[in-house]
A and B are shown apart, each in its own frame.
Chain A
Amino acid sequence: MIVLSKLADLFEDLAKRHRLLPWLIAYVLLLPLPFVLAGLFNEYLIDLVNRICLFILLAVGLNIVKGFCGQVTVGHIGLYAIGAVTSAVLSLEPGGFGGALGFGWPVWLSIPTAVLVTAFAGLIIGLPSVRLQGAYLALATLGLGESVRIFIAVTPALGSSTGLMMIPAPSVGSFTLDSFTSYYYIVMTAALLGIYFSFSILRSATGRAFQAIREDTTAAAVNGINVIQYKLLAFVFSAVYAGLAGALFAHMQPGYLHHNNFTVIEMVTLLLMVVLGGIGNVWGGVIGAIVVAIAYDQTKDLVFYFMDRPIVIQPLVFGLSMVLLVMFMPRGIGGWIEDFQRNRRFIRRSEERLSGSTRNT
């Protein structure tokens, strides 16, 4: 914890010199990561890191609508699905496997188009927030998100039960980004940019409007904030993140999508990241994504035998963790970070005051 808060302090100090300095340093430090992992451990850890980067994008995006703006949504995974399937279908060759749709677009065109389509879908998933709140909004968005998955599951053109296969990897010139390491540079850059822009939003009038709506919607409206417009905007922002994460997931080799990637369980996993991270705290969300993604990976194949019958315990573990977290750690890791930072700032200020007064005497 102390390490974390020190890290956060360091980040702020560097930012004082030049705003982009800590981001550039972080980027440079992250560049050799795949080689370190491959050297010390094995190749598959890079794949895990790549998936963590996608989870970070998802969690940071969800944090905008849920954390900043206070709108409970359980439809985020549906947006991820829309981004993934749209980009996959646009880029697949026509007349592919099992009646799957294909348009043969270049990947660099299918991804931004998928993001735009998802942004629009985010607007629609956000519409219930105009009238509903809390649990009702959660139910409405859950319904919308889950219906996306079911639609994919029953539509052969979108893969239905077999899934979409051989989705192409993006390429730069004649170089195809189909290895774990080459794809790492795409998803890592996307994740870092995602975090950066989330701070840009948070520290602007737009972010303050989101937070005002979360804290007190009536007061926000009376302060001149167009509540409907900003709520929908938060949904669209988060959809852009989900759409990008989905599209990048689709083109990550082996280039295979199945509707089981988008179930309620994945949504709970995603919520767990944000709740563990501390709702509204960007860095907390990032740490939450890392911790939960690793835990998810480690427990994926964990089967417990009860009277010789296999029981997959992962959903139980994740559901229960969620309940325990909300009950005992409602502010998450982000809450600790904030407390530490504030205490440190307080100590610093008192020290400054002390040294100032001794100098004066």
Chain B
Amino acid sequence: MALLETRNLSKSFGGLQAIDNVSLSVDENSVHGLIGPNGSGKSTFFNLLTGVYQPDIGSHISFNKIDITNKPAHYIASQGLARTFQLLRLYGELSVLENVLVGYHPHTKYGPLAPLIMGAEVRRQDRLVKEEMMDLLEFIGLAEHAEIPAAELSGGQRRLLALGRAIAMRPKMLLLDEPGAGLSPVNVDNLMATILTLKERYNLTIVVVEHILKVVMATCDTISVLDHGQKISEGSPKFVKNDPAVVEAYLGREMADEDIKAAMNA
């Protein structure tokens, strides 16, 4: 069953067609890969899904059978669609624990004025939520850094926290924008393993953008390929890897020989 569906999704920036009439559906409980050369529109696609950008007229997005086209970002988030950003966008001055607590925000059980009038209840709720969030931090291995500002984490830890903050939203679907960017291949493998365990533990559907094709091929059930904002191929890893259109899209960008080999031999 499709959890997420786009129909004729388009987005232009001035004259540039960043996303061009993309119709795509993601099955519940699947790991769906989104690949394509740099600038092919992957991040823009995520920004459209999560309400960060407004799509062009005629586009249609539905999530969990609800029309979320042109809905504000916080509403889409509250429906259970979470994401990470390519550049992480952590709350640098807030502590690691506070970062995941913000992720939990849509599930807060008290109103914004409650801290002024029912302090005891607010503190009780916060204690419970903090315990739950510490469990999550324990699970992703950041518990001992809970009190330090996010800006002071190492690169790899920051990527984990970005993931943790999204998971804290208890989403149905998680969109991951290059979660392993900047990590060594070994660490990317570890990260993907973590992501897959998180998927099982929290019963998630995942869409992942990843430029190390080997990783994508190994972990995804289905892969969609974007080029110049258009969907040029879609199917199982095996199908996509052998699709001439895909090979050409990557070759057309003068990809280094080794990368192609690495990608195609995965």
Binding site for B on A (CB under 8 A): 19, 197, 200-201, 203-209, 211-212, 215-216, 218-227, 229-230, 233, 280, 345
Contacts and interface: CB of A to CB of B under 8 A. Distances in A.
B208 interface: no
B52 to A, nearest CB: 6
Contact of A212 (B102, B114, B116, B123): B102
B112 A206 contact: yes
A215 B112 contact: no
Contact of A233 (B91, B98, B108, B112): B112
Contacts of A205: 101, 105, 108, 110, 112, 122, 126
A215 B85 CA distance: 15
A222 B99 CA distance: 13
B72 to A, nearest CB: 7
A211 B91 contact: yes
Contact of B102 (A201, A208, A218): A208
Which has the most chain A C-beta neighbours within 10 Å: B51, B72, B73, B113?
Answer: B73
A92 to B, nearest CB: 31
B77 interface: yes
Determine the main DSSP class of A at the interface with B.
Answer: helix
A146 B112 CA distance: 30
A330 B92 CA distance: 16
B92 A204 contact: no
A-B interface, 10 closest residue pairs, ranked by CB to CB distance from nearest = A224-B106, A224-B77, A204-B115, A221-B73, A215-B91, A219-B89, A205-B108, A212-B102, A206-B112, A200-B115
Contacts, number: 100
Contacts of B11: none
Given A206-B112, A225-B74, 12 more contacts: A200-B119, A201-B115, A204-B114, A204-B115, A205-B108, A215-B91, A218-B89, A219-B91, A221-B72, A223-B77, A223-B165, A224-B77
A219 B169 contact: no
28 contacts: A197-B116, A200-B119, A200-B122, A204-B110, A204-B122, A205-B101, A205-B108, A205-B110, A205-B112, A205-B122, A207-B115, A208-B102, A209-B102, A209-B105, A211-B94, A211-B102, A212-B102, A212-B105, A215-B91, A216-B89, A218-B52, A218-B89, A220-B102, A221-B77, A222-B50, A223-B74, A223-B165, A229-B112
A19 B127 CA distance: 14
Which has the most chain B C-beta neighbours within 10 Å: A209, A215, A345?
Answer: A215
Interface in B85-132: 85, 89-94, 98, 101-103, 105-106, 108, 110, 112-116, 119, 122-123, 126
B78 interface: yes
A222 B105 contact: no
Which has the most chain B C-beta neighbours within 10 Å: A201, A203, A206, A211?
Answer: A206
B115 A225 contact: no
A222 B91 contact: no
Which has the most chain A C-beta neighbours within 10 Å: B77, B91, B98, B169?
Answer: B91
A219 B77 contact: no
A159 B254 CA distance: 75
Contacts of B172: none
B265 to A, nearest CB: 36
A102 B72 CA distance: 46
Given A201-B115, A230-B112, A233-B112, A221 B92 contact: no
B60 interface: no
Nearest to A197: B116
A223 B103 contact: yes
A204 B112 CA distance: 9
Given A209-B102, A209-B105, A224 B83 contact: no
Given A204-B122, A209-B102, A222 B116 contact: no
Which has the most chain B C-beta neighbours within 10 Å: A211, A212, A222?
Answer: A222
A19 B122 CA distance: 14
B116 to A, nearest CB: 6
Contacts of B50: 222
Contacts of B91: 211-212, 215-216, 219
Which has the most chain A C-beta neighbours within 10 Å: B72, B119, B169?
Answer: B119
Given A211-B94, A212-B102, A223 B169 contact: yes
A345 B114 CA distance: 31
A221 B115 CA distance: 21
A280 to B, nearest CB: 8
A28 B51 CA distance: 52
A215 B98 CA distance: 12
Contacts of B126: 203-205
B108 to A, nearest CB: 4
Nearest to A227: B74
